């Protein structure tokens, strides 16, 4: 069954942005958005720390699908032409080119590719990601009940958003914290991404760009307030200023268009993922027409009107009953969790109970549970208020502060709390 909610995670050099997508037929929209600072800890751990609180606040159901936009420096993008006269299934040829370009076995990567054919050539754009990176991220998300389904490269979003009408070769330059990224494209296909530290005043990106392009002049898009004079000075690059790109919105538009990245645990089939909006609309119209014909053969107009009147009468009562049942189920679940915490202390129940007490702008980074004792460390929030909540909660005793091991941030202070779980003295 298709889901009506999805979590989109955007990884940038300075922060993690999480967006909650909801589907109101026939389109997806962004219902909520939160950003968190990105530290030097492993990426999977930081994603887990940022998302854990959102699972509770946004009421994400188990097995909620997650789509991730990766950092430009993670994985890579390749672009190459297939041999002339190649016919049939291109996958063996693509894997052969990929094996030549990468210094490690294909079994150690995940990848997705696009193919653009012309009268005398076939060009392939391929986005790849290390399997270990995917496994770490997928494992971290699965620990809080979420399911990684797809990974997207930033260059794919840029190609879909800008793609000049007549530009066989073009580029996009962006700065992200202390890195500069140069994305290059053949038509609508990402070719490769190179990076350079922005502290270097004489960027060598122009040499790399011009050395790989046969075109006499190249369109260069950029979003910085000032023109990149180091790249435009030679006259072979035509600079075009663009507003800063809103990547959360670009990813949503890209997904709506039926585009596909690396499908880790596909929620949609490869065929449906690549259907154009027009083809999807035609398919839906066809199904609607068949459904209408079937309905007309099963009931008269008078019978249908009578049924609709009955539905209108009972709908308010049914909605109220369903809402009451949901509240009762939530209270039962919370009560059962507290009873388990009081009689049979368990690390997962303790983590859930502590997370429910966290202020909105606070998150956990480390949680340790052993022999009925726990320690929790994180950033942000009011530690005094959190301790008062724990002291007043059944199942916790001896709640107090401990010395945090985390580094102090310029804006956020670390906290550390500890308590005993279960009956006092157990």
Note the pLDDT tens digit of each residue in 324-375: 888 887 777 766 666 665 556 667 777 887 887 787 778 888 888 887 888 8
**pLDDT, tens digit (0-9, with 9 covering 90-100), for 217-237:** 678 888 777 777 666 766 667
Hey, what are 311's tokens?
């539905």
Residue 13: which of 77, 70, 78 has the closest Cα?
70
Give a yes or no: residue 325 inside a domain: no
Q: d(Cα 156, Cα 190) in Å, to the nearest integer? A: 6
Give a yes or no: residue 321 inside a domain: no
Q: d(Cα 118, Cα 386) in Å, to the nearest integer? A: 63
Same domain? For 260 and 359 the reply is no
Same domain? For 231 and 364 the reply is no
Residues in the chain: 426
Higher pLDDT residue, 149 or 120? 149
8 A C-beta contact, residue 343 and residue 422 = yes
Give a yes or no: residue 287 inside a domain: no
8 A C-beta contact, residue 385 and residue 359 = yes
- Return the CATH number at 385: 3.30.1360.100
As for how many domains the chain has, the answer is 2
Same domain? For 116 and 256 the reply is yes
Final residue belonging to a domain, choices 267, 295, 314? 267
Give a yes or no: residue 289 inside a domain: no
Residue 264: which of 102, 93, 109 has the closest Cα?
109
Give a yes or no: residue 307 inside a domain: no
> Concatenated DSSP letters for 257-269?
TT---EESS-SS-
Higher pLDDT residue, 83 or 162? 162
Q: Which span out of 25-29, 300-304, 353-357 was modeled with the highest average pLDDT? A: 25-29
Query: What phi and psi, each to the nearest 5 degrees, are found at residue 354?
Result: -65, -45
Hey, what are 340's tokens?
């388990």
Same domain? For 381 and 250 the reply is no
Same domain? For 137 and 254 the reply is yes
| pLDDT mean over 141-158 | 93
Give the pLDDT of residue 121.
76
Q: d(Cα 410, Cα 326) in Å, to the nearest integer? A: 42
**pLDDT, tens digit (0-9, with 9 covering 90-100), for 253-265:** 999 988 889 999 8
What confidence tier does 120 reach under pLDDT thresholds 50, 70, 90?
A: confident
Give a yes or no: residue 234 inside a domain: yes
Same domain? For 134 and 237 the reply is yes
Same domain? For 28 and 168 the reply is yes
**pLDDT, tens digit (0-9, with 9 covering 90-100), for 181-215:** 888 888 888 888 877 655 444 445 555 555 555 55
- Return the CATH number at 184: 3.30.420.380
164 Ramachandran zone, left/alpha/beta (phi>0; psi -120 to 50):
beta
Give a yes or no: residue 189 inside a domain: yes
Of 81-90, 123-132, 146-155, 290-299, minimum mean pLDDT range: 290-299
Give the pLDDT of residue 275.
46
Final residue belonging to a domain, choices 236, 267, 298? 267
8 A C-beta contact, residue 350 and residue 373 = no
Give the pLDDT of residue 240.
80
**pLDDT, tens digit (0-9, with 9 covering 90-100), for 379-406:** 876 777 788 888 877 777 888 888 887 7
Enumerate the H helices of 43-153 as residue ranges.
43-57, 91-101, 131-142
Instruction: Encode 137-169: b = buried (16+ Cβ within 10 Å), e = exposed.
Output: bbebbeebebbbbbbbbbbbbbbbbbeeeebeb
Final residue belonging to a domain, choices 267, 295, 322? 267
Output the furthest CA–CA distance in the chain (Å, rounded).
80
| pLDDT mean over 154-174 | 82
Q: What is the mean pLDDT of the chain?
A: 79
Query: What phi and psi, each to the nearest 5 degrees, are found at residue 107?
Result: -65, -10
| pLDDT mean over 63-78 | 89
Same domain? For 100 and 241 the reply is yes
User: Three-state SS string across 305-354, please?
Assistant: HHHHHHHHHHHHHHHHHHHHHHHHHHHHHHHHHHHHHHHCCCHHHHHHHH
Q: Which domain holds residue 366?
A: 347-421
Hey, what are 344's tokens?
């049979």
Same domain? For 125 and 243 the reply is yes
Bridging pattern class, strands 218-222 and 189-197: unpaired
Give the pLDDT of residue 426.
47
Same domain? For 34 and 182 the reply is yes
Give a yes or no: residue 232 inside a domain: yes
């Amino acid at each position: 069954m298709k889901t009506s909610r999805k979590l989109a995670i955007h990884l940038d050099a300075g922060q993690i942005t999480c967006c909650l997508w909801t589907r109101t037929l026939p389109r997806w929209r962004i219902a909520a958005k939160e950003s968190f600072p990105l530290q030097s800890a492993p990426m999977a751990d930081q994603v887990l720390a940022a998302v854990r609180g959102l699972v509770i606040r946004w009421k994400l159901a188990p097995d909620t699908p997650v789509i991730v936009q990766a950092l430009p420096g993670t994985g890579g993008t390749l672009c190459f032409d297939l041999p002339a006269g190649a016919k049939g299934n291109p996958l063996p040829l693509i894997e052969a080119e990929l094996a030549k370009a990468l210094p490690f076995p294909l079994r150690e990567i995940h990848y997705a590719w696009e193919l653009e054919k012309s009268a005398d050539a076939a060009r392939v754009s391929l986005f790849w990601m290390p399997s270990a990176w995917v496994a770490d991220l997928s494992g971290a998300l699965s620990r809080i009940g979420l399911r990684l389904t797809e990974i997207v490269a930033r260059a794919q979003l840029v190609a879909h958003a800008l793609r000049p009408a007549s530009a066989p070769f073009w580029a996009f330059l962006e700065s992200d914290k202390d890195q500069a990224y140069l994305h290059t494209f053949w038509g609508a296909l990402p070719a490769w991404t190179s990076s350079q530290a922005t502290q270097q005043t004489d960027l060598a990106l122009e040499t790399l760009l011009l050395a790989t392009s046969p075109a006499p002049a190249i369109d260069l898009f950029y979003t910085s307030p000032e023109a990149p004079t180091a790249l435009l000075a030679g006259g072979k690059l035509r600079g075009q200023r663009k507003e800063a790109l809103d990547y959360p919105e670009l990813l949503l538009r890209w997904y709506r268009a039926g585009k596909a990245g690396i499908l880790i645990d596909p929620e949609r089939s490869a065929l449906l993922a690549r259907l154009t909006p027009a083809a999807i609309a035609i398919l839906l119209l066809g199904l609607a027409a068949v459904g209408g014909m079937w309905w007309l053969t099963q009931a008269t107009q008078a019978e249908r009107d009578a049924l609709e009147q009955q539905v209108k009468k009972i709908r308010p009562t049914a909605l109220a009953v369903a809402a009451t049942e949901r509240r009762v189920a939530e209270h039962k679940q919370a009560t059962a969790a507290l009873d388990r915490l009081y009689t049979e202390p368990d690390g997962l129940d303790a983590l859930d109970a502590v997370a429910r007490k966290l202020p909105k702008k606070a998150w956990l980074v480390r949680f340790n549970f052993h022999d009925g004792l726990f320690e929790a460390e994180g950033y942000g929030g009011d530690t005094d208020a959190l301790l008062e909540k724990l002291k007043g909660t059944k199942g916790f005793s001896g709640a107090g502060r401990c010395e945090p091991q985390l580094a102090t941030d310029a804006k956020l202070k670390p906290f550390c709390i500890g308590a005993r779980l279960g009956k006092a003295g157990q």
